[in-house]
Structure 1
Amino acid sequence: MPSCEYCGKEFNKTNNVQKFCTEDCRIKNHNQKKKRTIKVMKCEYCQKAYNNGTARQKYCSEKCRINAKARRVAKPTIKKECRVCKKEFTVEGKSRNAVYCSEDCRKQRWKSRLVEKNCANCNQPFKAAKRTLCCSTECKIEYFDTRVELNCIICGKNFKTYKSRIEREASQKCCSEECYRESRRTGKRINCYCDSCGEGFYKAPSLQEKHRNNFCSTECMGTFYSESGLFAGENSPTYFGSFEKHKKYYGPNWLAQRRKTRRRDNYTCQRCGITEDEYGQQLSVHHKVPFVMFKDYKEANLLDNLLSVCEPCHRKIHSGKNHPTKYEKQIL
C-alpha cells in the first residue's frame, strides 16, 4: 500500500495521482514548501476556530460561505396587515408583495367580488366577475360563433361556415375538401353550360375566358363543330384550297424512294438520332424543299431532297414559317 508523503501513513488510493492520505496533509505539505505559517482564525459566520490555509480565507467551510452570502443578499422581513382578516403577518424574499395572510383569505376576497348575472347565451343565472359574459366555455364558444349553417351540395351534411366566405364561389359550399373535389369532377357545382347540349357543368373561370366555346364532353364538341362548320373548308387553319389543287399524292416512285432514303440514313432520325427499333415504328421521310414547289414528282422525290426523321422532329420542321399553311397559294 502507498504511504502519505507528509505524515507517512499508509492509505488506499482513490486515483492514480493521489499522494496524500487526507486534504489536510496536502495543504500542510503545500504550506511547508511555500514556507507559509498556518494561523488559527474564527469563521465570520459560525464563529468557530479553524486553521487558515490561505490569506483570503474567511470561512471555515463552503457551507458557511454560502450562508453568509445569503444573509448579505436577503432583504429584511416586512410586517403587513391582511386585507381580509386584518391580522398582522410577516413576509420576506419573493413573497414580500403578498397582501393576504393565507390562501383562504385570498379565496374569500375573490368570492366577495363575484356578481350575480345571467348567461349571455343560455340565460341561466350564475356568479362570476364583472367582465364575464357566459357561464361556461361551451356557452362562450357558442355565443361568439358567428358562422352560418349550410347543407353540403354533395353529401347533404349540415356544416357551419362564415358569412364572408359564402359570398365567394370557393369551396365553402362543400363540407370538406373531398366533397369540393367531387363537385368539380361530377359537375354538381355548376358555373357553365354546354354550347351544344345545354347541360350545366363546372369549368375553371380562367378557361372560360380563354375559350370561345364551352363543351361538357368531346362528343358535344365534335357535334357542334360538324354542325356549325366552324373549322370546315376555308375556316380550317390547314386549308390549302380544293382537293384537286392539293398535291397530296407524291407520285408512283414515292414508296421506293422512301425505302431507299430510310436505308441510306441507316434507319436513324437525322435530327435527334433515334432508331426505328427505339422509336417502335417506321420513320417519316421529309422533303427538304416542299413537294408543292415542284412541277415534276421525279425532281421532288430525288434522294438529295429527302431526309429521314421521326414524327416529333417532323412536326418541329413544319412549325412556324415552314408550316404548310404559310405556302403561297399561287404556287399551288
Structure 2
Amino acid sequence: MNKNKRIKKILTKKFLIGEYVKNRKSMVKIAKESHSCFRTVRKCLRKYNIKIRTLSEAKKKSFKILTREFLQREHHKNKKSIHQIAQTIHCSHRVIYNHLNKYGIKIRMLGKKSWDKVSKILTKSFLKKEYIKNKKSTIQIAKETKCFRTTVIKYLKKFDIKRRTCKEFCKSGKEAINYIDGRTHNSKCIDCGKKISYNSAIYGNSRCHSCANKAQHRIGTLNSKGKNNPNYKHGKTNNNKCIDCERRIVPIATRCWECSFKLRFGKNNPNYIDGNGYAPYPLEFNDKLKEKIRKRDNYQCQNCNITESEHIIVFGKVLCVHHIDYDKKNCKETNLLALCRNCNIRANYNRDYWKQHYNELMSAKVLGNLAKGKINPTKV
C-alpha cells in the first residue's frame, strides 16, 4: 500500500506531461526513474487522458537527428561505434546501420587498431616458437596475446603450420596431469574378473556394476525373511479386513481406499447439511447491496475487526457478505453482515452457535442505530 501511494504521488499529471510529452521520454525510461513498472505508467497516462505515442511517432525524433553531418561527425571524427550512437539516440543499432548505408558513409571496422597489433604479434616465427617448440596450446597463446582462440587458429592456417591432434596433445607418463608416483591401476572384480574403476576398487565393494547388483539382490532376499523383514511384528499375520467390502487392508486402516472415497461425497460426508450449497443466489443479492452492507459496517469484519484495505492485502479481494440465517433468498439488510474470508468459512461449521451469535450482534446494532435516530422504525 505504501509503495502504491508513493508511485501515485510521483506519477502526477504535471510530471507525466513534462517527461512524456515535452521531454519525449519513453514509458520504460519513466518507469525506471520512478521505480515502477511501465504498465503502471501506461495506466496513469490513460487515466489523465494523455495521448500515447505510436511506434512510428516515437521514431520520428531519431530519424530527424540522423542526418549525414551528424553521422559523419559521430562515427568518423568522434570514432563512436554504431551501438554507442544508437544508445545516445535511444534507437536500434540496425537503424544507424541502415542510415549509414543510405548516405553512403563508410562503416569503420570494429577495433581496427587492436587487429593491427595482433597481426604484428602473431607472426610465423612467433607461432613456430610458441606452438611447436614450447608446445603451448592455442588457448594459452590467445591469453598471452589478448585475442580469441579462433584468431590464433586462423593465423596457423594462414602460415601452413600443422595443428596437433588430440593424441599428440595429451601427455603421458610423468608429463601427464594426473601423474603421482608411477603407480598403475589394474584392479579387477572379485566375481567375474573384469577391470573396474579406481573408486569402486578402493571405496566400493570391489565388484563391477552387474556383479554388485546381483550380490545386493542375493543379500536382500536372504535378509528379507522372518525377523529380518522390516514389516515383521512378533510373528503375527495381518488378517485386518475392510468393514464394508471385507477386503484385506493395512493393519492401521478400518476401510479400504474405495470405500473411504465413497464416504466423502453427498449425504455420507460429515459436513453435509441440506444439499443447497451450490444453489444460485437471487438477483437481489447484487454488488450494490453488498457495497451498501460493507459501507454500513464501516468496511470492517464484524467478528475479527479486520479492515477492507488489510483484507485486500492478505486475500486479494474485498470483504464477504454473510447470510445470518443461511437462507440465500432472504436478502434483508438485517440478515446480512460483512465478514472476512476466514470468518465466513468458519461460520459454515457449528451453524446454530454462529446463527445465535450474529443475530444477537445484529439486534444490538439495530437497537443502537434506532436510539441514535439513524434508522426509521417503520423500515425495521
Give 1 or 2: higher helix fraction. 2
Say which one has the larger Rg. 1
TM-score w.r.t. the length of structure 1 is 0.28
Q: Which has the higher contact order (CA 8 A, sep 6+)?
A: 1
Give 1 or 2: higher strand fraction. 1
